[in-house]
Chains A and B, each alone.
Chain A
Amino acid sequence: GQNIDQPTEMTATEGAIVQINCTYQTSGFNGLFWYQQHAGEAPTFLSYNVLDGLEEKGRFSSFLSRSKGYSYLLLKELQMKDSASYLCAAMDSNYQLIWGAGTKLIIKP
């Protein structure tokens, strides 16, 4: 079956670095997405990886290992506004997204 696993909740300190992990199993693979979702709002796109390696975009970076079925989202210089849920989603061979339940990130001052 198809499955996405990510931690339910993480806590970090303002100014620090946090890594949110995601493992996936899909029928075929057409890339891995990360979305950010603030409470009560719609998910917004953060990153897309289809090749192995690290993609950096400002304070946020995303890593993919296709052979391990593994990705992580790295957030640097954490700010209070980064408190949100982070959703991992893998695209299968039919270009359908398989979603994880999301990781709620709590930032403490």
Chain B
Amino acid sequence: DVKVTQSSRYLVKRTGEKVFLECVQDMDHENMFWYRQDPGLGLRLIYFSYDVKMKEKGDIPEGYSVSREKKERFSLILESASTNQTSMYLCASSPGTGGSGGRLEQFFGPGTRLTVL
């Protein structure tokens, strides 16, 4: 089974702190994603990556950056945390895109509930 792990289930940080959220997948997936999930809203894509050292902005990249130095690891960085970044952060991975014959569904980690005070 695909396993996606995230470094913390719960995290409390102060405004202005630098925050690192780590995500690791063990199935050699090419694609990795970072979402945030807030009540009443759908999952919103922050950043995604199709390959090592490659990154693409999603719908809401402001205030975030990412790093993918190894295929299995995708990190989300909040350079200076703010209260409006309090949210559930979900990491996901998927094996490939259409045309490759690969499966398209995304596999999610357990999530990190981040509170910024």
Contact = CB atoms under 8 A, between A and B. Distances in A.
Interface of A: 4, 8, 30-31, 33, 40-45, 48, 87, 89, 91, 95-102
Contacts of A40: 111
A82 B44 CA distance: 24
Given A31-B104, A91-B104, A42 B90 contact: yes
Given A43-B90, A87-B42, 6 more contacts: A8-B40, A43-B108, A45-B107, A97-B43, A101-B40, A101-B41
A91 B33 CA distance: 14
Contact of A45 (B4, B44, B45, B105): B105
Majority-rule SS of B interface residues: loop
In the complex, the 10 A-B pairs of residues with the closest C-beta atoms, listed nearest first? A99-B42, A42-B108, A99-B43, A95-B97, A45-B105, A101-B42, A43-B108, A42-B110, A100-B42, A30-B98
A48 B104 contact: yes
Interface residues of B, number: 19
A89 B87 CA distance: 20
Contacts of A91: 104
B106 interface: yes
Contacts of B108: 42-44
Given A41-B110, A42-B109, A30 B104 contact: yes
Contacts of B104: 30-31, 33, 48, 91, 95
A87 B58 CA distance: 19
Nearest to B33: A97
Interface string B1-17: 00010000000000000
